[in-house]
Amino acid sequence: MSRKLVLLRHGQSQWNLDNRFTGWVDVDLTDKGRTEAFAAGELMREEGLQFDVAYTSVLLRAIRTLNIALDAMEQQWIPVLKSWRLNERHYGALQGLNKAETTAKHGEEQVTIWRRSYDIPPPPMDESDPGHPRKERRYAEVDYNALPDTESLKTTLDRVMPYWVDRIAPDLKAGKTVLVTAHGNSLRALYKYLNKVPDEEIVKLNIPTGIPLLFELNDDLGVISYRYLGDPEQARLAAEAVANQARKS
């Protein structure tokens, strides 16, 4: 018996459009992002996917994407669980900065290291910054010391994995069909774990917005197969566009 898991990156956000490092900043979808979310739901409906449970982060762009996709599938009734552990990677002091301008200032090699390397985080956010998660009500119940001021992909995976082990994996092992709607880096972390991608190879992976990635897993949650739904060429071009975001204007 195979288990089905779909990873869905949120639709285009306003800061995706503005080419800014977003991280944990709570930015909404653009009109295009809403369209992408609905199209993702249509693709999942056409695939015949019947979800038993959905997971998302506590950030608006992921929650909005999930709700729109569920509307498109007419599966609004399924249980939805939200966790900060599925949040985007925290980009530290880079949050809010324009990616191309940051590249012009620090060089493409350094920005690529901050964006895509496995274990090198950007400079940390100052704890006095009003945008620090320790100052936000939504994280009031989270252990103070667990809230990041910057993250690498490695530390993002470290915080995602307990939620995978405690909540998502048990649902899959119970035979449930699961939808996870989250962010480029929290999903990259799960992709790395599921596909056993080497640390040095994960730098090349880019996940496009709004295109469902369907995994079929065995009883032990090993990967049988995975593919983007819809047109493979569209997914390839969308991933390429993500890779090019930090290049100089």
CATH of the domain at 52: 3.40.50.1240
* Residue 88 is among the residues annotated as catalytic for this protein: yes
The parent domain of residue 222 ranges over 3-243
What does the pLDDT read at residue 203?
83
Residue 174: pLDDT over 90: yes
pTM here is 0.93
Has 227 been labeled as part of a binding site?
no
On the question of pLDDT at 247 being above 60, the answer is no
Region 130-143: what's the mean pLDDT?
A: 95
Mean of pLDDT over the chain: 93
15 is in an annotated binding site: yes
Has residue 38 been placed in a domain?
yes
Query: Does residue 246 carry a pLDDT above 60?
Result: no
Catalytic annotation on 106? no
- Max CA pair span of the chain: 52
Q: Is residue 176 part of a domain?
A: yes
3-state secondary structure of 72: helix
Residue 249, domain member (yes or no): no
Q: Is 83 annotated as a binding residue?
A: no
Give the pLDDT score at 60. 98
Report if residue 248 sits inside a domain: no
Q: Which structure tokens are listed for 185?
A: 């880096």
Number of domains forming the structure of the chain: 1
Report yes or no on 146 lying in a domain. Answer: yes
Residues 6+ apart with CB under 8 A from 128: none
Which amino acid, residue 242?
V
Q: Is residue 225 part of a domain?
A: yes
pLDDT at position 145: 93
Q: What is the pLDDT of residues 51-108, one digit of tens each?
A: 999 999 999 999 999 999 999 999 999 999 999 999 999 999 999 899 888 998 889 8
185 labeled binding residue: yes
The answer to whether position 9 is within a domain reads: yes
Per the CB < 8 A criterion, the answer to whether 181 and 54 are in contact is yes
Interval 234-239 mean pLDDT: 85
Examine residue 220 and state whether it is found in any structural domain, yes or no: yes
Of 36, 88, 151, 183, which one is the catalytic site residue? 88
